[in-house]
Amino acid sequence: MEEALGSMDKRVTTAVNEELLKPFTAEEIMQALKQMHLLKSPGPDGMPPIFYQKHCLCNVLYKLASKTIANRLKPLLDILIPPSQSAFVPGHLITDSVLVAYELNHQLKLKNRGKKGCVSLKLDISKAYDRVEWSFLERALGRLGFHPHFMALIMSCVSTISFSFL
């Protein structure tokens, strides 16, 4: 873990942290609410947000909070995500990575000298979200320079979801 974290540089400035830590405005919350798909299922219960408007807001409130935080982070994506990242970035295609992998394997097959020690691995992590080491995520956010309070907001969204029925 230390090896991976050691290569990460601080990218979030004090000014950016100040913007991230401002109280959420009514406009930001309304924007996030409008971005939610009212007929899309937010969780394992299979019920869309529109159903919960008068009944229960557990899943909807969680989605609203996480969407508001995500909207605050959007302007930082160019700073935080390296240009080589091709998956899950607007304007980038995951197929770009497939083409690079294909070309790499092709070059390895054609290589005449130094074949000894060449290896190519295909890794596919199913349900990767379920396998995330939350302590690594938290430490990575710290290395990038996020303020501890904002890190706590993110960590509360990804690691401590629970619901109570009164």
Residue 101: predicted pLDDT: 83
Residue given tokens 């700073």 in the structure block: 79
Q: Is 14 exposed, middle or buried (0-12, 13-18, 19+ CB in 10 A)?
A: exposed
Question: pLDDT (tens digit, 0 to 9) for every residue of the chain, 166 residues total?
Answer: 788 788 888 999 999 999 999 999 999 988 887 787 766 665 556 666 565 554 455 567 777 888 899 999 988 888 888 877 777 777 777 787 788 888 888 888 887 676 666 777 776 666 666 777 889 999 999 999 999 999 999 998 887 655 555 4
Please report, to the nearest 10 degrees, the dihedral formed by the alpha carbons of residues 45, 51, 56, 61 taken in order: 80
Contact criterion met (CB below 8 Å) for 29 and 64: yes
What single string gives the DSSP state of each residue in 59-128? HHHHHHHHHHHHHHHGGGHHHHS-TT--SSSTT--THHHHHHHHHHHHHHHH--S--TT--------TTG
CB-based contact 23:34 (threshold 8 Å): no
